[in-house]
C-alpha cells in the first residue's frame, strides 16, 4: 500500500507529522464523518497553539497539565490538539467515531515517539450523546476544535454539549476552538442550548477563529440549619 503524504505542523518548539487522508479504499464521500475527520483544520491549529501558550507559567489562562492530569479530546480527527497536550505531559484520551480511528491511530504512532509519550496517549471510539463509557467519569480538561458546523446539523452539536456536561465536574475546563462560518447560526444555537448547563466564555479571537472557555454550571444546594441538624 502506497504510503500517505504527511503534513508538517509546527506548534511551539515541536513539529508534528500528520496524515490528513485515509487510503483510497477507506475514503468516504464528501462531508461524511470520515471526510470531516481527515483534515488538519485551521481551528485545531489555533487550539493547539493556545494550549502551548496557556501552559506557560506567565499565562493568565491556565492549561495546567502536570503529569497525571486527565485530558479528553472530543472529535479528535487528525489528533493535533490532543498530541500537543500529550507533549505537554498530560494524560490524553483522543476520541472520534469508528470510521476515523485508523487515521487517528496512525498519527499517534507517528508522533508519540518516546515511550513516556506513548504511555500518556490513548485512542477510543466515542459518539457524542451516547451512553458509552470512557475510562474516567470526568476529566480535568476537555478539548474540542471545529466541531460546530452547519453541515452536521443541530443534534450533533447539542449532543456535543451533552457530552461536555456529562464528563465535566466542578473544576473541568473545556477549551473549544471554533471557526466562524457565515452568520454562525450553528454556534448561536449551541450557546443557547448550553445556557442553563454550561458557562461559555469567548476568551480569544483571531480572524475567523474564536476560542471558548466552557465550565459546568454547578447548582448551589442551600440547606437550612434545621435541615443540617436533622
What HEC string does the chain produce? CCCCCEEEEEECCEEEEEECCCCHHHCCCCCCHHHHHCCCCHHHHHHHHHHHHHCCCCCCCCCCCCCCCEEEEECCCCCHHHHHHHHCCCEEEEEECHHHHHHHHHHHHHHCCCHHHHHHEEEEECCCCCCCCCCCCCCCEEEEECCCCHHHCHHHHHHHHHHHHHCCCCCCEEEEEEECCCCCHHHHHHHHHHCCCEEEEEEEEECCEEEEEEEECCCCCCCCHHHHHC
Per-residue pLDDT at 69:
84
Architecture of domain 6-219 in CATH?
3-Layer(aba) Sandwich (3.40)
Per-residue pLDDT at 5:
77
Per-residue pLDDT at 4:
64
Per-residue pLDDT at 90:
83
User: Would you kindly state where each structural domain of the chain is located, as residue ranges?
Assistant: 6-219
Tens of pLDDT, residues 18-66: 998 654 444 444 344 444 455 788 999 999 999 998 887 666 666 776 6
Per-residue pLDDT at 218:
82
- Residues of the chain with confidence (pLDDT) below 50: 1, 23-36, 220-230
Amino acid at each position: 500500500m502506497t504510503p500517505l503524504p504527511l503534513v508538517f505542523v509546527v506548534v511551539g518548539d515541536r513539529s508534528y507529522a500528520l496524515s490528513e487522508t485515509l487510503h483510497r479504499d477507506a475514503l468516504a464521500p464528501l462531508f461524511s464523518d470520515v471526510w470531516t475527520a481527515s483534515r488538519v483544520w485551521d481551528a485545531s491549529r489555533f487550539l493547539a497553539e493556545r494550549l502551548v501558550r496557556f501552559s506557560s507559567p506567565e499565562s493568565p489562562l491556565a492549561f495546567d497539565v502536570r503529569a497525571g492530569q486527565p485530558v479528553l479530546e472530543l472529535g479528535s480527527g487528525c489528533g493535533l490538539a490532543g498530541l500537543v497536550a500529550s507533549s505537554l505531559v498530560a494524560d490524553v484520551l483522543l476520541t472520534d467515531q469508528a470510521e476515523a480511528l485508523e487515521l487517528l491511530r496512525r498519527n499517534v504512532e507517528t508522533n508519540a515517539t518516546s515511550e513516556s509519550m506513548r504511555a500518556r496517549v490513548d485512542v477510543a471510539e466515542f459518539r457524542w450523546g451516547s451512553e458509552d463509557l470512557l475510562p474516567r467519569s470526568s476529566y480535568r480538561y476537555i478539548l474540542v476544535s471545529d466541531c460546530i458546523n452547519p453541515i452536521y446539523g443541530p443534534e450533533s452539536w447539542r449532543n456535543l454539549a451533552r457530552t461536555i456536561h456529562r464528563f465535566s465536574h466542578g473544576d473541568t475546563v473545556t477549551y473549544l476552538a471554533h471557526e466562524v462560518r457565515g452568520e454562525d447560526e450553528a454556534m448561536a444555537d449551541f450557546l443557547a442550548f448550553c445556557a442553563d448547563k454550561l458557562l461559555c466564555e469567548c476568551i480569544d479571537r483571531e480572524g475567523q477563529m474564536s476560542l471558548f472557555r466552557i465550565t459546568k454550571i454547578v447548582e448551589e444546594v442551600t440547606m437550612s440549619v434545621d435541615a443540617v441538624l436533622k
